[in-house]
Every structure is written in C-alpha cells, then in structure tokens.
Structure 1
C-alpha cells in the first residue's frame, strides 16, 4: 500500500464540524476500495483541504472522495516519509 496526499480547493469557510463530517463519510466506505484515510486538515481562509491516506492507487482515493461528494483537485503519491 502507498501513501497519498490529496488536495481540495474552493472550500473557503469550512468548519471543523464540516471537515469531520466529510472525513467520516470517507471512513464509512473506505474499505470498499481498500483505502484508509488517516487524517484531514483544512485552512478555512484559503479554502484548502488536505487528506492523507493509504491506498492501492490514486484512483482508489479519487473514487472514494467522488462517491462521498467531495472530489479532490489533486492526488499526490507520498513515497518518502520520515
């Protein structure tokens, strides 16, 4: 399994509750694509949201997010971690 960081733009004003609900929606179905969303961060001012996941592919990450109604604008592999 590989790690991925996905980025969502255009989410200005997102609240902690909205971020938690979106993250939970992903967690609720992540096993269907063998994905695990580890964490999510948001900057309400810029409208940027970041999600860290472990998944078999970027496409699997994309499909889960699409199904929960918040498609990422970018999905990046994260091959190195310290």
Structure 2
C-alpha cells in the first residue's frame, strides 16, 4: 500500500493534547477510506503538523482529514526512502 506524508500549516500553538485529539479523530474514521494513519508530529511555533499514513490514494487521506475537521494543505506520496 502506498505511503503518504501530509502537511497542515495552520495549527500554530497546537498542544500535545490537541494533536492527540486530532489524530484520534482521524483514527476513528480511517477505515472507511482504507487509510492507516501511523504517526503525527507537530511544531507549535510554526503551526506545521506532519502525518504519516498508508492509504490507497492521496485523495483518501484528504477526505479523512477533511471529515475529521482538519484539512491537509499538502499530501505527498512517499516513493523513495533511505
């Protein structure tokens, strides 16, 4: 299954609790699109949040984030790793 890294750029001041809550919102509905969110990281100073997932498509990742209430600004397929 393809892997994706998505980026949110509007979460300035995000706390560990808020990140956890957002991630749980994704996990609660991810199966409806065949997505498996693996991990989320945040920088509260810049407001950037990064989420790693496996999914059938970038659109599936986008739909889950939108339905969970925090649309991704970018979704990138990971095609090369080291």
- Do they fold alike, i.e. is TM over 0.5? yes
The runs of 4+ residues in structure 1 deviating greater than 4 Å are none
Aligned Cα root-mean-square deviation (Å)? 0.6
- Count of residue pairs brought into register by the alignment: 82
**Structure 1 gap ranges (5+):** none
> Aligned residue for 1:30?
30
**Structure 2 gap ranges (5+):** none
> Aligned residue for 2:68?
68
2:53 corresponds to 1:21: no
> Aligned residue for 2:7?
7
Cα deviation code 1:44-73 (max 9, x no counterpart):
000000000000000000000000000000
> Aligned residue for 1:58?
58
Alpha-carbon separation, structure 1, partners of 2:15 and 2:54: 25
Alpha-carbon separation, structure 2, partners of 1:31 and 1:68: 13
